[in-house]
Chains A and B, each alone.
Chain A
């Protein structure tokens, strides 16, 4: 039972929440007018944090792209030389091409697998099993990518790995997974997709749950069954979720590093070398921090361009209910 004082407190709180800032005080001025600095006080921790840890490093990184710097000696201004060298470097070119190919294959697999499994789990499984599979498919994402890759490296070892041992049981000869260009690319994609599809899966589960049952019922009345129902109802209504999932998947995939670095070190040759690996190698192995920044700037521009293109295309292909 509420007491009188409790009621007073509540009404005061409600008034405050409802628009205290707009209500004039005793001096006739609103709260915002009396304390104009107050919003900035609340925003300050975020602004300062973002400024120090995000904005300044971005500015410094872009500026660094115009300098030659090896950490030890003083930096020297070189204009656009770093960009020119980067563009001419065949390793950088190959690594960007690898990254684009990786994004195309890995993201397609990641989204396809996530969507297929989400539909299966949401439609075919009882509620208690759905909870289990949501956790199970998400679990790899919380593991360290480096640890997973070390583990996978053992599994895919040509001579002593479990994968080849299993294949040998059905008469398939040992596959040089990590020592041939095709094999190593396949393993990197496989490990990456296995570890990352859980996030897209959860997004699709959420998206599927938000589709009204009535829509499916209406489609059934119109004669749609099985995959046609999914083609004409599920996919269009999931398109906003697909947009978000694909944007995030592409941005993540463009920055792939851990899996190829640990599994193959970018080899054999440059077959699994990615853009971020080249950034790492330029900076911390060749001590060309300016060039590393230049590659980083180019990669950022590519990510921004692709994301902008996705949102532009979304106007034609995404349907909001």
Chain B
């Protein structure tokens, strides 16, 4: 090394080793919070750690509700941790990784897709808390449809309170409809009416346009068609129990008798002739150029394509409104209608809410967060714009959709009232494996001839048997 006096300075091995040692110690001290994981929100300071799916911006957006919570519970410190993920399956994978690493959050925002996985293995039931705070919670349940609550029942216990939800309704582009010379479809339009609508749209716009765009996912893919046709790819049953909830909070609800201790999906049902019939209908749409061949997990570009008038219809829920508005769609550029009727007009929905982890350090504090998050005050802070459908009926109002549309926004909540058998996404504890099995066979089922469809459904049945072979 060149010294300041222009001569070479002799750095001894001892000096070099010493410098290296100091460097290592310095680096270790500087990165100690990272090495020990104390920089993870909620660790090391006893604060309640809340995991949500989203970006750091989403976590920051929740700060207002955290501040409001702090006013009510100044003794409970809360930290919101946003976890980026492609979809819910990816989000749950990351939560499980946190569990494996010994750093699980205390509370997790879980959608229907993971509700039973969490209920079976990770979450703490809310039953005792609900019984204890029944008077306080009565107002919440009076404002939330029982179908949403039932989706979070598992083996007779309630594990989450629905905060937001979305049904698979049918969005349509009003311009495309007008170009096809059609009026808004009737509330009870059938799958054949739907097909005729697509055919008219195709005739009016032969190129650079897709009358029906759908994705290959658990929500909004093939399942709404199966539900409408009074079937599903899994056999749906319901477990006993739960009377404490329905009698306690929904005593006057006319649908109380049909409520249960929760959904169960224990066996595959892909070989049901009605499943074949539903897939065959979709295959016909693809074959005749009325619908796309769905890509696996697609949908990222859907808002842009719909907003640029290149898609006629697509199944989606209230979560689309804000995105379409931001993409430049005006209130009258699109509208929404119930999903078409087949043997039934049962819809598919997905909902989400907070689950308290079994490993939560302070479950009482976690319950206070869950309870506060379900309050009208908190939900109004969290959902200022229509980027989802709030679980509280009173919040789905003219003011939420003002200036953004759609004109018939009432369709969103009316779906539950008009069709009380409307059911959640079929998501047993083995949801990830079930979803993979479904997704991988849908494209093949709707892309070839009848023989290929039969073969794909046989394969689906086998894959589902494999996925469900171990029951909890």
Which residues of A come within 8 Å of B, CB atoms? 3, 5-6, 9-10, 12, 41, 70-73, 89-91, 153-154, 157-160, 176, 178-181, 264-270, 273, 281, 284-287
Query: Is there contact, CB below 8 Å, between B440 and A265?
Result: yes
A-contact bits for B78-118, CB 8 A (1 contact / 0 none) = 00000000000100010011011000000000000000000
With a CB–CB cut-off of 8 A, which chain B residues contact A273?
A: 440
A-contact bits for B1-29, CB 8 A (1 contact / 0 none) = 00000011010000001000000000000
Q: Does B439 contact A (CB under 8 A)?
A: yes
Query: Is there contact, CB below 8 Å, between A269 and B210?
Result: no
With a CB–CB cut-off of 8 A, which chain B residues contact A281?
A: 432-433, 436
Distance in angstroms from A60 CB to nearest chain B CB is 12
Interface residues on B, range: 35 or more
Residues from 434 to 458 in B contacting A, C-beta threshold 8 Å: 436, 439-441, 443-444, 447, 456
Query: Is there contact, CB below 8 Å, between B295 and A178?
Result: yes
Q: How far is the CA of A179 from the CA of B93 in the complex (A)?
A: 26
Interface of B is mostly: helix
Q: How far is the CA of A71 from the CA of B359 in the complex (A)?
A: 14
Residues from 114 to 129 in B contacting A, C-beta threshold 8 Å: 121-122
Residue of A nearest to B452 (CB): A269
With a CB–CB cut-off of 8 A, which chain A residues contact B444?
A: 181, 267-269
Query: Is there contact, CB below 8 Å, between B297 and A265?
Result: yes
With a CB–CB cut-off of 8 A, which chain B residues contact A268?
A: 296, 440, 443-444, 447
Residue of A nearest to B210 (CB): A159
Q: Does B463 contact A (CB under 8 A)?
A: yes
Distance in angstroms from A151 CB to nearest chain B CB is 12
Q: How far is the CA of A248 from the CA of B305 in the complex (A)?
A: 41
Contact of B440 among A6, A160, A267, A287 (CB under 8 A): A267
With a CB–CB cut-off of 8 A, which chain A residues contact B305?
A: 160
With a CB–CB cut-off of 8 A, which chain A residues contact B210?
A: 159
Query: Is there contact, CB below 8 Å, between A270 and B433?
Result: no
Query: Is there contact, CB below 8 Å, between A180 and B93?
Result: no
Q: Does B264 contact A (CB under 8 A)?
A: no
Residue of A nearest to B467 (CB): A286
Residues from 276 to 310 in B contacting A, C-beta threshold 8 Å: 292-297, 301, 305, 310
Q: Does B244 contact A (CB under 8 A)?
A: no
Query: Is there contact, CB below 8 Å, between A72 and B122?
Result: yes
Q: How far is the CA of A205 from the CA of B100 in the complex (A)?
A: 46
Given contacts A91-B463, A178-B295, A265-B296, contact A285 B456 (CB under 8 A): no
Query: Is there contact, CB below 8 Å, between A265 and B432?
Result: no
Q: How far is the CA of A158 from the CA of B443 in the complex (A)?
A: 13
Known: A159-B310, A286-B430. 19 other contacts (CB 8 A): A3-B7, A5-B7, A10-B8, A72-B99, A72-B121, A91-B466, A158-B292, A176-B293, A180-B293, A265-B296, A265-B297, A268-B440, A268-B444, A269-B441, A269-B444, A285-B89, A285-B93, A285-B433, A287-B432
With a CB–CB cut-off of 8 A, which chain B residues contact A41?
A: 17
With a CB–CB cut-off of 8 A, which chain A residues contact B216?
A: 267
Q: Does B459 contact A (CB under 8 A)?
A: yes
With a CB–CB cut-off of 8 A, which chain B residues contact A159?
A: 210, 213, 292, 310
With a CB–CB cut-off of 8 A, which chain B residues contact A5?
A: 7
Q: How far is the CA of A73 from the CA of B463 in the complex (A)?
A: 24
Query: Is there contact, CB below 8 Å, between A160 and B295?
Result: no
What are 24 inter-chain pairs, A to B, with CB distance below 8 A? A3-B7, A6-B7, A9-B8, A71-B96, A90-B462, A153-B295, A157-B301, A158-B292, A159-B310, A176-B447, A179-B293, A179-B447, A180-B447, A181-B444, A265-B297, A267-B296, A269-B440, A269-B443, A270-B440, A281-B432, A284-B93, A284-B97, A284-B432, A285-B436
Query: Is there contact, CB below 8 Å, between A269 and B459?
Result: yes
Query: Is there contact, CB below 8 Å, between A286 and B296?
Result: no
Distance in angstroms from B373 CB to nearest chain A CB is 25
Query: Is there contact, CB below 8 Å, between B447 and A265?
Result: no
With a CB–CB cut-off of 8 A, which chain A residues contact B439?
A: 265, 267
Q: How far is the CA of A72 from the CA of B472 in the complex (A)?
A: 13
Given contacts A160-B310, A284-B93, contact A267 B433 (CB under 8 A): no
Q: How far is the CA of A160 from the CA of B311 in the complex (A)?
A: 11
With a CB–CB cut-off of 8 A, which chain A residues contact B97?
A: 284
With a CB–CB cut-off of 8 A, which chain A residues contact B441?
A: 269
Distance in angstroms from B179 CB to nearest chain A CB is 18
Contact of B456 among A3, A153, A157, A269 (CB under 8 A): A269
With a CB–CB cut-off of 8 A, which chain A residues contact B467?
A: 286
Given contacts A9-B8, A160-B301, contact A285 B295 (CB under 8 A): no
With a CB–CB cut-off of 8 A, which chain B residues contact A89?
A: 466
- What 6 pairs between A and B have smallest CB-CB spacing? A268-B443, A285-B432, A265-B296, A179-B293, A71-B100, A284-B93
Query: Is there contact, CB below 8 Å, between A284 and B293?
Result: no
With a CB–CB cut-off of 8 A, which chain A residues contact B93?
A: 284-285
Q: How far is the CA of A181 from the CA of B443 in the complex (A)?
A: 10
Q: How far is the CA of A71 from the CA of B93 in the complex (A)?
A: 11
Residue of A nearest to B293 (CB): A179
